[in-house]
A and B are shown apart, each in its own frame.
Chain A
């Protein structure tokens, strides 16, 4: 039978100052580790939630995002008559030809400019994205220089608030509405009339065509037909897939950065744990000799000391995650390298991140404790007893 766990636990408690400091070191690393994973997760979640499964995004072939894409009016008309398109209650086809332009706007408070997505839309755009509601004001009048801003733009950019005026495309645009797009990428966009924006930016082509499917299982038919149509050069993607791809590079970058950063940090925490555990072993040499003479095997000693450093790792992980969980209350905004536009999103904690962070913490505890534990287990009984 093994040495009871309370033996390990009480030893940690006895030297609570060093235990506390070691735990704090580990907690810090776990906090950073979890925070970066939460950031990547939040980014991905925001972008994935932006799309709906029933919607199809059609962009120019090989363009990775709407910003790089261009769909000519003639091509848009071909796409417009596809039979897979759903019909609205008024029998109009649920298809929106949109234009996406990036502009620079100064941020509130800092005056530092940042990229914002301007999306030229039509009334249908709202119908195929029923999750978007007007929160304040009204929908911009078609054919006018009126725009509406996503909640996060209204909050973060100068001139984005209701009734304010933004200048871009050599025109003044009045913000007549604020729309609530929930926790999605649309919150970080400004919407206005597509035809007006095309004129203002002197763009002869649309950026993308978005259509709602009559039946979401017909996606493959549509994709195959459009992509093989010799008149068109387009990529057909589900909207969810499109937005997932928009987040991939950034999320990957964050994860790689986070992982490399925390691995370097963790070396410090592991060395801290190792020093603590080596000190614990040298302070208890005669105790180890006593336990061994009472009949406890080498592996029981090994387990007892390993349990101590794993406990440090476990508690460090819990503390780190506890503090990291509060990050969910914050919203951050950053430039998405893939779309070159500013995107607001929150930290998001998932079960997977909890498990990864705890695993990481336990590994730190294990690595820090394994050498001292082996040292304790390898001791000669007679010499250990003489140490008292």
Chain B
């Protein structure tokens, strides 16, 4: 079945290292992975295994040393920094461990933020934001500031912000890492629903085995080497 779906992420011979002083620390070496559209993939591995780095490379906020990173058919390694920013605005939805909402903006304005980078009119932006907040079931909290919301609610606003531009992929870095069990469960169910009902592709980095259970594919990354479950 899975072979029928078109590939959304294609990574070939990807290497990445960090420079710390005069030392060069290799993080990822010769990574190859293909992710089909509409999948919910969990990337697991111990701390420092490079799973966040891999996620950042797919999301286009970090640059690989060598290798091919193709997302939605575009070789993002070949894009300039400014082009990459434009590409992210339209193609990537970010979900962070600490939600990363802008504290001085209301839930509505936070969700609207990525839409400011599109050519949508004010009215269209309104409609999109309202729809996104309805999907995460927070229509009644639109005018609240992040500090007035619980952790779970904040993460739902962050998810609304991630889906509002209808991006190609959603990347989530430890999305349940800062939540209690009940909220974490809600968030995972919401993410699963996004995949099942809206056909989103989610790549999630997690430590939490319970979180990984919800994913369709679980990939382990250890010492720069990928293994599939």
Q: Contact residues of A with B, CB < 8 Å?
A: 1-4, 7, 10-11, 13-14, 286-287, 289-298, 381-382, 385, 388
Contacts and interface: CB of A to CB of B under 8 A. Distances in A.
B103 A294 contact: no
A97 B142 CA distance: 83
Interface in B115-168: 116-117, 161
Given A294-B89, A385-B96, A14 B104 contact: yes
Contacts of B82: 297
Contacts of B51: none
B100 interface: yes
A293 B104 contact: no
B62 A381 contact: yes
The DSSP consensus for interface residues of chain B is helix
Contacts of B100: 286-287, 289-290, 385, 388
Interface string B48-72: 0000000010010110000000000
A95 B96 CA distance: 89
B86 interface: yes
A293 B88 contact: yes
Contacts of A385: 61, 96, 100
B94 interface: yes
Contacts of A1: 116-117
Nearest to A8: B104
B117 A296 contact: yes
Contacts of B161: 294
B85 A296 contact: yes
Contacts of A290: 94, 96, 100, 102
B36 interface: no
A108 B113 CA distance: 67
B117 A295 contact: yes
Given A10-B105, A295-B85, A298-B81, 9 more contacts: A2-B116, A3-B116, A291-B102, A294-B114, A295-B114, A295-B117, A296-B117, A382-B61, A388-B96
Given A14-B103, A381-B61, A292 B85 contact: yes
Interface of B: 56, 59, 61-62, 81-82, 85-90, 92, 94, 96, 98, 100, 102-105, 113-114, 116-117, 161
Nearest to B94: A293
Contacts of B92: 293
B113 A294 contact: yes
A295 to B, nearest CB: 3
A289 B62 CA distance: 12
A382 B191 CA distance: 24
Contacts of A13: 104
A4 B102 CA distance: 13
A4 B116 CA distance: 9
Given A7-B104, A11-B104, A293 B59 contact: yes
Contacts of B59: 293
B107 to A, nearest CB: 14
Nearest to B84: A295
The 6 closest A-B pairs by CB, nearest first: A295-B89, A10-B104, A290-B100, A381-B61, A295-B88, A1-B116
A382 B16 CA distance: 14
Contacts of B102: 7, 287, 290-291
Contacts of A4: 116
B85 A297 contact: yes
Contacts of B96: 290, 385, 388
A158 to B, nearest CB: 62
A294 B96 CA distance: 12
Nearest to A12: B104
A382 B62 contact: yes
B62 A295 contact: no
A4 B106 CA distance: 13
